Amino acid sequence: MSSSSSAAISNGTIHRTKILFLGMRRSGKTSMLQVLFDDLPVKQTFYLEPTMRVAKHFIDTVIPLEIWDCPGNVTVDTLGASLADFSTIVFVIDIRDLYQHPVSKLVEFIVATCQINPDIHFEVFVHKAERLQEDDKIENFRQIHERVMDRLVDESPEFEQFPLNFHLTSIYDHSLREAFSRVLHKLIDSLPYLEELLNVFCSNTASPKAFLFDTSSKIHVATDTSPVDQATHNLCCDYLSMLNSFGPLYKSNSNDPRTSRVSPTPAPTPPPTATTSTPTSSTTPAGTPPLSSSSSPVPPSKPHFYPSAATSLSPSRPGTTLTYHLVTPHLALLALLPTTVYDMRRGLVEWNVVWFREGVREIWESGLRGVLES
Amino acid sequence: MKKKVLLMGASGSGKTSMRSMIFSNNPASLTSRLGATIDVEQNHVRFLGDLILNLWDCGGQDAFMDSYLSTQRSIIFSHVGVMIYVFDVESREMEKDLEYYRDCLEGLSQFSKDANVFLLVHKIDLVRDTERNAVVQRKTAELEKASGETPVKVFGTSIYDESLYKAWSNIVNTLIPNARNLSKHLRIFAEACSATEVILFERTTFLVIATSSRTDSSDAFPSGPVVLHALDPKRYERTSELIKAFKQSCSRLREEFRSLEMELAEFTAVLDEMTKNTYVLVVVHDPVIETAAIKMNICMARKKFEELQGDSLILEK
């Protein structure tokens, strides 16, 4: 996801879905968000300074997002915005914490929010799960869950059925991404359409599992309706990391025009006739084919190029191939295919990918138009 | 063909962890479970099929060190091809470390005059990024001085990044008899594929054996199309690290990594098996070339490379 936490980007015209991140000091909010959206290497989170004021992350994925990273001592009044503006509130609790403070704070926010807007989604991330052994992890998780629900019911009996989701997370593995995926799924209106596209793709290509991933944060925005196996999800995240890291290693820094490739155009902001260069293109300096910034409706001289990759696993007969196809500048299709299908029916697979891509682009573009008009 | 590799250094400096990562394919996270090595642990590691590395992981506790330098002296220091001495960058007993090192160097020159010596300044991840280069340079000067007449090569390493692969690729390169010949053939192959670069990796460790751009096995100036494209100088060890990590991810799913092909915006590449002990990575910058063509070329070159490997090792005996 392309993100920026500076206010220099004028986002006044686009309506962004807002997510609020709350939690005690040192619970891990800033680390999480920077690892997910700013490509911060996990080991560098050790050196992060405490967050003193609200930092906003503007993220563009299948829908435009605005994520607020708040300092630990923020309260309903010092927030700087009405709670009604947010679609989701994520509360982060350090799994080793003594629970009184975070639980009271969480309950305070829940009560305040319900008075203003009862439709807001509430999620709790029980974080830093890597610090405990398996049994302690589960025990603490259960205890926190229980304490929160007890306190809520104490506040008022109508909170008994309150839909509060708990997730066990850590920045050291992919549990954080999985949790964030689930949060994101509730915010994407077009999710059923994306899922259906994936289902069709899977049944046509005999694929047991396919995901639509956001390439830079490695959060999956949609998957087909077969059950998600955590190990498969982790492998796909690792595969994406590897592909992302390979790009810069062998990138050519020469001025040879032959090495340039046209990449898919980004969000179609007006005027629709401009063809612009995108972040995924290789370094194409001046003097290369006239595609880089013409505003006249000249069709590009090369067809659109979409990066793809495939890795084959297991030399045994029913092998699996893990494929990657870039679908929009931020989203990629990752699918597991039987190797026999990939090798012998490659053309049909690619054909299905083309249709899948068309479908996703239509959904994404119509979503953007809706957002621009509001 | 057997080559003896001595792995020495103070207790807790990281010798066994290193060995476990490179040769046993264990991820860095599991090394915390390793205990202190008692006396010498000998491992025979098959490398490139016919080459056997006889790895002597020598426990670093004082009692053992004293015994190596006295009663076990000739056993330890005879017939050594390479000695790798590991220094913990955060060691609080540098004087003692250096003293033991000098003694070992003496033992080595007594029994294996022709052995190559590599010094690793390990756990370099504990040093802040911005100071790393300065620290490595300072240590290099210190160690070269302590080594007297003996030519040594110093590397800063860590099991948490690619630096370990760089050091070990260099070390292993001195043990492969015909790296230069392999490079020459890789260059011919690269030209046939219109590739910018072709790199040969050992299958299990994924250490770099030879590339089409180096003119000899040490860090010589690259030549040919690589200069034109000005590729990242750290790409070799980064590739080793990335693929190794991905192989480990695959094995968690009980799958085995086999091959990879990529058509990215920046380049096209194929990573596939070359011979039964090696993998080849072919990197192409011409967008016209399809991965299928590269794969076909690899297929056709296989026999030649099997031959090359077989012949060279026999000749050296």
Q: Quote the percentage of chain B above a pLDDT of 90.
A: 9
Whether A288 has a pLDDT exceeding 50, the answer reads no
Q: Where are the alpha helices (DSSP H) in B85-162?
A: 94-111, 132-146
pLDDT of residue A273: 37
Strand partners, B260: A311, B271
Whether A313 has a pLDDT exceeding 60, the answer reads yes
Section A122-131 average pLDDT: 85
pLDDT of residue A372: 66
User: What chain B residue is nearest to A234 in terms of C-alpha separation?
Assistant: B249
pLDDT of residue A358: 92
Q: Note whether B262 contacts A232, CB cutoff 8 Å.
A: no
Give residue for tokens 């686009």: A14
> Angle at which helices B62-69 and B94-111 pack, to 10 degrees?
30
pLDDT digits (tens, 9 = 90+) for A319-329: 889 999 999 88
Where does the pLDDT of residue A10 fall: very low under 50, low under 70, confident under 90, or very high at 90 and above? very low
Whole-angstrom Cα distance, residue A200 to residue A207? 10
pLDDT digits (tens, 9 = 90+) for B252-306: 878 888 899 999 888 899 999 988 888 999 999 888 888 889 999 999 998 888 8
Where does the pLDDT of residue A259 fall: very low under 50, low under 70, confident under 90, or very high at 90 and above? low
Chain B 250-279, residues with CB within 8 Å of chain A CB atoms? 250, 252-253, 255-267, 269
Where does the pLDDT of residue B218 fall: very low under 50, low under 70, confident under 90, or very high at 90 and above? very low
Whether B217 has a pLDDT exceeding 50, the answer reads no
Residue type, A238: D
Whether A303 has a pLDDT exceeding 70, the answer reads no
Q: Note whether B262 contacts A315, CB cutoff 8 Å.
A: no
Q: How many CA atoms lie within 13 A of A181 on its CB side?
A: 22
B127 alpha-carbon distance from chain centroid:
22
- B109: buried, middle or exposed (CB in 10 Å: 19+, 13-18, 0-12)? middle
pLDDT of residue B310: 67
pLDDT of residue B174: 84
Chain B 203-232, residues with CB within 8 Å of chain A CB atoms? 228-232
pLDDT of residue A374: 53
Whole-angstrom Cα distance, residue B161 to residue A332? 27
pLDDT of residue B311: 57
Check: complex ipTM more than 0.85: no
More confident call, B228 vs A168: A168
Whether A268 has a pLDDT exceeding 80, the answer reads no
Q: Which of B40-44, B141-145, B149-153 has the lowest mean pLDDT?
A: B40-44
pLDDT of residue A298: 44
Whether A282 has a pLDDT exceeding 50, the answer reads no
> Which residues of A touch chain B, with CB atoms under 8 Å apart?
43, 231-232, 234-235, 238-239, 242-243, 245-254, 256, 258-261, 263, 280-282, 305, 307-315, 319-320
Q: Quote the percentage of chain A above a pLDDT of 90.
A: 12
More confident call, B65 vs A174: A174
Q: Are A217 and A36 a contacting pair, CB within 8 Å?
A: yes
Q: Are A127 and A141 a contacting pair, CB within 8 Å?
A: no
Strand partners, B211: B199
pLDDT digits (tens, 9 = 90+) for B182-215: 888 898 999 888 888 999 998 888 888 888 886 4
Whether A211 has a pLDDT exceeding 90, the answer reads yes
Q: Are A166 and A179 a contacting pair, CB within 8 Å?
A: no
pLDDT of residue A3: 45
Whether A302 has a pLDDT exceeding 70, the answer reads no
Give the 3-state DSSP-derived string for B243-307, with helices as H, strands as E and coil as C.
HHHHHHHHHHCCCCEEEEEEECCCCEEEEEECCCCEEEEEEECCCCCCHHHHHHHHHHHHHHHHH
Please give, rounded to a whole number of angstroms, the shortest distance from the CA of A309 to a CA of chain B.
4
> Angle at which helices A346-373 and A191-205 pack, to 10 degrees?
180
Q: Note whether B228 contacts A309, CB cutoff 8 Å.
A: no
Instruction: Give the containing element (helix H, strand E) for B308.
Output: helix B291-316
Please give, rounded to a whole number of angstroms, the shortest distance from the CA of B52 to a CA of chain A.
26
pLDDT of residue A77: 75
pLDDT of residue A258: 56
- Among B208, B213, B256, B285, pick the best mutation site for testing chain A contact (most A Cβ within 10 A): B285
pLDDT of residue A351: 93
Please give, rounded to a whole number of angstroms, the shortest distance from the CA of A281 to a CA of chain B.
6
A121 Cβ neighbours under 8 A, 6+ residues apart: A87, A88, A89, A163, A165, A183, A186, A187
Whole-angstrom Cα distance, residue A304 to residue B268? 16
pLDDT digits (tens, 9 = 90+) for B166-185: 898 888 888 887 778 888 88
Q: Which of A243-257, A333-347, B9-23, B154-168 has the lowest mean pLDDT?
A: A243-257
Whether B68 has a pLDDT exceeding 80, the answer reads no
pLDDT digits (tens, 9 = 90+) for B125-135: 888 888 888 98
Q: How many CA atoms lie within 13 A of A111 on its CB side?
A: 16
pLDDT digits (tens, 9 = 90+) for A177-208: 989 998 888 888 888 999 999 999 999 998 99
Calculate the dihedral angle through the C-alpha atoms of A242, A245, A249, A254, rounding to the nearest 10 degrees.
Answer: 120
DSSP string of A143-200, one letter each residue: HHHHHHHHHHHHH-GGGGG--EEEEE--TTSTHHHHHHHHHHHTT-TTHHHHHHHHHH
Whether B9 has a pLDDT exceeding 60, the answer reads yes
Mean pLDDT for chain A overall: 78
Locate A238 and state its tokens.
Answer: 């690792």
pLDDT digits (tens, 9 = 90+) for A75-108: 777 777 777 788 888 888 888 876 778 888 888 8
Whether A265 has a pLDDT exceeding 60, the answer reads no
More confident call, B128 vs A8: B128
Please give, rounded to a whole number of angstroms, the shortest distance from the CA of A43 to a CA of chain B.
10
